[in-house]
Chain A
Amino acid sequence: MKNKHTYFLFLTGMLVCLLLFAVNLASGSVLIPIQEVAGRFIGGEFSKSSWETIVIGYRIPKAFTAILAGIGLSLSGLQMQTFFRNPLAGPYVLGISSGAGLGVALLIMAGSAFGWSMYSGGLGIWAVVFSATLGSVLVLLLMSLTAWKVKDSMTLLIVGLMFGSAVSALISVLSYFSGADQLKMFTIWSMGSLGGTQPDQLIAFLVAVLLGLVPLLVNLKSFNAMLLGEAYAESMGVNVHRLRWAMIVSTGILAGSVTAFCGPIAFIGIAVPHMARLVFKTGDHRVLFPASALIGAAVLLACDTISQLPGSAQTLPINAVTSLVGAPMVIWLILRRNFSKEF
């Protein structure tokens, strides 16, 4: 089903991704000329030694975090949309980010009672990652239990939304009773950040994303069968029940780890699969999965570059930028391509 046009699009996408990567490394509160960045990669050295620290120690981990998060979010979004046959499904519909949020809220608000602070050294970040993971795993377990009991996928979707709302309400209650400092800390976490990952966390993040890809790769063919709906998929030998588990586990690990390491990042998961369908004009998941991963990485890199507000020392929260930049873009794509028919 692949053709020359598809390969051309992939090649262009990769070049764009590479370019965005370089621009991302160059921009920030300290502007480094892009030719210096490119020179460093082909074996040269920076003309200022401070740039080395900035790029290698901070910007490269951040850029890789953006790539991994972009891939993770868009791939879980694509799985959800295909499985539920619903263009509005995204990685967070099963309450995964709310679960992570609850974990972090508990840590920040309850932790302060024991004198813990997010700023208390390196352990702080790991504690946040750990509690976010714990929270999303908890929601994931609940969802799996439901998936085991419930036969209908639409019911599962509704239950997932309800879990999300209930958990969000719990977070509200916690926020109501917590002090101003903790509240601010939690709010900052919930705005997302790509810059918080150190190299060792980046490796953990990479392992998590690779792990989340496994159930997806195993079931690649089944996702194509799901395009005709559950009943047809079943008649073509797809075990829909098993596929549902695989999807929950995969999105749980992907979206859960992104939320754990970067906080909740809106928009990417729900919009990138649509962008992939619009650009590549196909429903074939053997094309759509790599395409979504590529576009997801590119979009998040671009958003991160914008959030640095090139030329100024200020940065914007990434969670706000993704929606601010992405929403108009998707609206434009949709209106231009008469989207309502396409899925």
Chain B
Amino acid sequence: MSIQNSILQATNLSLGYQKGSRSNVIAAHISFSLEKGKLTCLLGPNGVGKSTLIKTILGQIPALKYQVYLDKKPTNSISIKDLSKKIAVVLTEKINSANLTVKQVVSLGRIPHTGWLGNLSVADQQKIDVAIQSTHINYIENRPMSELSDGQLQKVMIARALAQDCEILILDEPTAHLDLINRFEIMHLLRDIARNKNKAVLVVTHDLDIAIDTADEFWLMQCGLPLVCGSPEDLILQGKIDLLLPNDRLYFDKSDGKVQDSEEFQYPHIDGPEYMVKWVKLALRKNKINPEGKSISIKTEGKQTYFYLSLGKQTLKFESIASCLDHLNLVKN
């Protein structure tokens, strides 16, 4: 960790809610350092206190013990006006201002920087245009918010946060409810923003696959344990990524980069190209079919691939994995 790039730090932080004299600790021993120019992903199961951590960073709820420091100052000593020039957010809250156009919503991001009437200067306009350009939403600039898809909506909210022009960008589950392509696009967009604009980007997400592909830094949160920080690659090799998995039923496959069922499974002998064998295995495993004493071989003849199932003396030929499985299911019963 380089010291000069660190913008937000905390040591041994305790999070939770204060109710009268009783305090309800949600997470303790939280230490972190958020760095500029890096995409950091905060991962952890639901209810572990990710949102509480975000709220504490934003100064919306006080920390129970110790402080979050922004530029060497505790965040709760910074007025929300000054904080709004340092940290911009994208929240999970739904926006239902159908009468606003995309550009108007992005312009709202300039509110902390404008006078009492909120009139935009030329410099403000430029920042808005840059935000719109870097999120690639020029083509919907004048559309009302009610006509946008979920993916477009999320990009607009990111553009609004960019227009706020802060060093820190915090996003709470920006890829929830989005399709695969949009999830990829948004995470890569955030990575570009962190890189090109030298911003500290903190993303709460549940998308482990995409997070591994895009993040520079992982913060893993698990009930009752200190926050684990490190690059995703290191955490995988150290086996610390398993912290995200609640029990032994699942494990993280270090070679595949995927979460797998840890149940032992015996495969029959399968012949063929490696990448094809992999998918046949997956199909067998999902259907819990283990054809003992049988073997499968995959052969490509011309443009067509065939699956040969040998049952001792007899060999059957199938055109697809599905039809092969159907037969095996029939035999099993």
Contacts and interface: CB of A to CB of B under 8 A. Distances in A.
Interface of A: 1, 85, 218, 220-221, 224-225, 227-229, 231-232, 234-239, 277, 281-284, 286, 341-343
Given A235-B58, A283-B97, A341-B146, A218 B116 contact: yes
Given A221-B118, A235-B89, A228 B97 contact: yes
Contacts of B80: 234, 237-239
B105 A235 contact: no
Nearest to A2: B119
Interface residues of B: mostly helix, strand, loop or mixed? loop
B98 A231 contact: no
Contacts of A225: 108, 111
9 contacts: A220-B118, A224-B118, A227-B100, A229-B93, A231-B91, A231-B93, A232-B93, A236-B112, A284-B104
B99 A237 contact: no
B1 interface: no
Nearest to B115: A221
Given A221-B111, A228-B108, A236-B109, 15 more contacts: A1-B107, A85-B96, A221-B116, A221-B117, A225-B108, A227-B100, A228-B93, A232-B93, A235-B89, A235-B91, A237-B85, A237-B112, A238-B80, A239-B81, A343-B99
Contacts of A85: 96
B164 interface: yes
Contacts of B118: 220-221, 224, 286
Given A237-B80, A343-B99, A232 B112 contact: no
A199 B320 CA distance: 92
Nearest to A278: B99
Interface string B67-90: 000000000000011111101110
Contacts of A286: 117-118
A237 B111 contact: yes
Given A1-B104, A221-B111, A236 B99 contact: no
A137 B107 CA distance: 38
Q: Which of A227, A236, A342 has the most CB of B within 10 A?
A: A236
B95 interface: yes
B87 A235 contact: yes
Given A221-B118, A231-B91, A236 B84 contact: yes
A237 B118 CA distance: 13
Contacts of B60: 234
Given A236-B84, A286-B117, A343 B96 contact: yes
Q: Which of B58, B96, B114 has the most CB of A within 10 A?
A: B96
Interface residues of B, number: 32
B84 A237 contact: yes
Q: Which of B87, B100, B117 has the most CB of A within 10 A?
A: B100
A277 B99 contact: yes
A236 B97 contact: no
Interface string B101-127: 000110111011010111000000000
B250 to A, nearest CB: 34
Nearest to A229: B93
A283 B111 contact: no
A283 B114 CA distance: 18
Interface string B125-158: 0000000000000000000001000000000000
Nearest to B99: A283
Nearest to B161: A235
A281 B99 contact: yes
A229 B93 CA distance: 8
Contacts of A221: 111, 114, 116-118
B117 A220 contact: yes
A56 B252 CA distance: 86
Contacts of A232: 89, 91, 93
Contacts of A284: 100, 104
A225 B91 CA distance: 14
Given A286-B117, A343-B99, A235 B88 contact: yes
A236 B164 contact: yes
Nearest to A82: B97
A232 B160 CA distance: 11
Contacts of A218: 116
A283 B100 contact: yes
A220 B116 CA distance: 7
A283 B116 contact: no
Contacts of B117: 220-221, 286
A38 to B, nearest CB: 36
B111 to A, nearest CB: 5
B154 to A, nearest CB: 14
Nearest to B145: A283
A180 to B, nearest CB: 50
A187 to B, nearest CB: 40
A303 to B, nearest CB: 26
Contacts of B146: 341-342
A286 to B, nearest CB: 7
Leading 3 A-B pairs by shortest Cβ distance: A237-B84, A283-B99, A221-B118
A227 B89 CA distance: 15
B112 A228 contact: no
A56 B85 CA distance: 55
B77 to A, nearest CB: 16
A237 B81 contact: yes
A235 B80 CA distance: 7
A235 B107 CA distance: 15
Contacts of B107: 1
Q: Which of B83, B89, B118 has the most CB of A within 10 A?
A: B118
